[in-house]
A and B are shown apart, each in its own frame.
Chain A
Amino acid sequence: MLTYTLRRLLLAIPTLLLISLVIFLVVDLAPGSPMSEIPLTVPPEVQAKIRAALGLDAPFYVRYLLWMKQFFWTEPLYGIDNLFGTQLAGDAPRLLSYSSRAPVFRIIGERLPQTLTVIGSAYLLAIVIALPIGIYSAYRQYSWFDQIGTFISMIGFSVPTFFTGLVMILIFTVYLGWFPSIFNTSLRVTDWATFKQMLHQMTLPVVVLALYNAAEVSRYTRSSMLENLSQDYVRTARAKGMGEGTVVLKHVLRNSLIPVVTIIALGAPTIFGGAIVTEQVFKINGIGAALISAIHVNDLPVVQTIAFLTAILIVLFNLIADILYGVLDPRIRYD
């Protein structure tokens, strides 16, 4: 198991390096320039000086290596300094945003909690809803519960999140007035009242994201359960007089969850993509919103860093999925 994990880990490193290069090049070679927001009345020699101050006059490999160094060395040091009050980083130059001149990681740190609370609770809710539905509709295949469940999951799977979000806003905010449509980012949870307010404003975005993800997870659970329910060992378990509950929930479910767990792990980073849209719909001031506004002002360091962080998440969750697969299914590890 250890060699299996190590091999996966080692494979992830070149992938990440290659992805970082691709992201850097795609953003860096783009014809748009971070100077496009500066008025044309600024004389060219001043513009050249601004470019030099931003470090834009260096060749791209220098900037790439500098970015890598800041990403993997300087910024973690600053992170440690912040946590433990040490002075490891000294005054090494940080990764700065072009437009606000603030450190990119501080911007991300400010935006991340909103995104994580909404996405995290949505994903948990999705799993909690999807598993029982998937299990029951496979157990009673072609029953009315299964028919309705399959239909709803097909809808949840097909209708894009921005439309479900808009319809939810239309029904629950405009006509019924039950929930707010705009997420108040400055709300701090300090006591029971603010906690309730937080729950209140999180309901709509969480439900929208959860519906979408629940649809996918329940489809996988159902088909994986169906595959296992017709296996011989199920008949054996029943034949030796085991209770139906034990057969389904112990024997079949455990085996069916192997692919489902991987799907859940693999889906975790892609939900960030869906979150970009949901954040836009519900005006949540999270990572996705930061990315979109950074794209609009050609703030290359912010765009590169957020994109690369997402890529790291994807690789990380792929790794987790691989390792989980190895843990759950001994046939997969080749040791």
Chain B
Amino acid sequence: MTDATVIEAPRSLWLDVWAQFRAHRGAMVGLFVLIFLLLFVLVGPLFWTKEPILVNSNTAQMFKSRNLGASLTNPLGTDQVGRDIMARLMLGGKVSLAVGFVAMGVAIGVGTLIGVLAGYFRALDNALMRLTDMFLSLPLLPLLLVLVYLYGGVMRAEFGPNLGTFFIIVAGIGLTSWMHVARIVRGQVLAVKEREFVLAARSIGTPSRRIITRHILPNVLSPVMVAATLGIANAIITESVLSFLGQGFQPDFPTWGSMLNYAYNNQSYPVQMIWPGLAISLTVLSVNYIGDGLRDALDPRIRGR
């Protein structure tokens, strides 16, 4: 009888997480929508080669092609200077998503660094947490508007109009949204560093740097991943708010937020507002659902129930 024992396939943590994630319907739909949007902005321009930025230099043709409705040649219509909205939506999405991902990266990087330093080194804890509290009390949106408007000129002169704006927006969003990550990470680090395996590592003489990278960081990964997904949503919304308030990229350079702002000021064709707004909302909605699913999937109390 002994040879009939069934040996279960080995299960890894990430397989379990994936299984739980797949059970979350909203998160799966969100993942598919996000992948679709990513394909749309990254692969789309390879097939849809209309000009998104430059205006047709033939003025008569340009005038005839302004504010068109949906047609076969322009499935989403054209804007007020005759550019194809679908092509602009692709380019704008690329910029908006790039801002979202990079700003999230900055926020996670700064937040994790400060959180680990505060949690691991007791001498730094008080000062760093006071700093975090102070940042949490700053009026973020007004300050961000001021930062981008007042310092944008220098950055634009330094790195060119679009790259400069990209840097200042990413830096601004990143430096104003790391605080929650820092708090979460600090809490986790405080708990993890009292565990036996850290003591064991220290007793064989592992330096602090190695303890942090090998033993502590992998154990704070799950809350950071959840915070990262929600951070992308936050960064995309903030970028579009800035662009919507006219503080983002140059007017001719599309992002979803600035397309919305453009269409809003050109109110005779309100339909033009729908597509960029829908794109922002869908992205943020799907990212938030993915975050929800990830939180459930990474929580060992929920997983496996």
Interface residues of A (CB under 8 A from B): 15, 18-19, 22-23, 26-27, 30-32, 154-155, 157-160, 162-163, 166-167, 169-170, 174, 269, 272-273, 276-277, 280-281, 291-292, 295-296, 298, 303, 306-307, 310-311, 314-315, 318
Q: Does B273 contact A (CB under 8 A)?
A: yes
B241:A160 contact, CB within 8 angstroms: yes
In the complex, chain A residues whose CB is within 8 Å of the CB of B147: 26
Complex Cα–Cα for A13 and B20 (A): 47
- Sample of 9 further A-B pairs with CB below 8 A, known A170-B273, A310-B142: A23-B139, A158-B233, A160-B237, A162-B244, A163-B277, A276-B142, A306-B142, A310-B139, A311-B137
Encoded as 1 (CB less than 8 Å from any A CB) or 0, chain B from 254 to 280 comes to 000000100010000010011001101
CA distance A306 to B146 in the complex (A): 11
Nearest opposing residue in chain A for B155, CB measure: A31
* B residues whose Cβ falls under 8 Å from a Cβ of A: 26, 130, 133-134, 136-143, 145-147, 149-151, 153-154, 233, 237, 240-241, 244-245, 247, 260, 264, 270, 273-274, 277-278, 280-281, 284-285, 288-289, 292
With contact pairs A158-B288, A318-B137 given, residues A303 and B146 touching in the complex (Cβ less than 8 Å): yes
> Bound state CA distance, A200 and B130, in angstroms?
45
CB-based contact A276/B141 at 8 Å: yes
List A contacts of B244 (CB < 8 A). Answer: 162, 277, 280
- Tell whether A296 pairs with B149 under 8 Å between CB atoms, given A162-B241, A162-B260, A163-B280: yes
Secondary structure at chain B's binding surface: helix, strand, loop or mixed? Answer: helix
A/B interface sample: 22 pairs, CB < 8 A: A19-B137, A26-B143, A26-B146, A154-B288, A154-B289, A158-B281, A158-B285, A159-B281, A160-B240, A163-B278, A166-B260, A166-B273, A174-B270, A273-B139, A273-B141, A273-B142, A276-B141, A276-B245, A291-B142, A295-B247, A311-B139, A314-B139
A314 contacts across to B, CB distance below 8 A: 136-139
CB-CB under 8 A from B137, the residues of chain A are 15, 19, 311, 314-315, 318
The CA of A144 and the CA of B278, in the complex, are separated in Å by 26
B153 touches A32 (CB 8 A): yes
**In the complex, how many angstroms separate the beta carbon of A226 from the nearest chain B beta carbon?**
12
A163-B245 in contact (CB<8A)? no
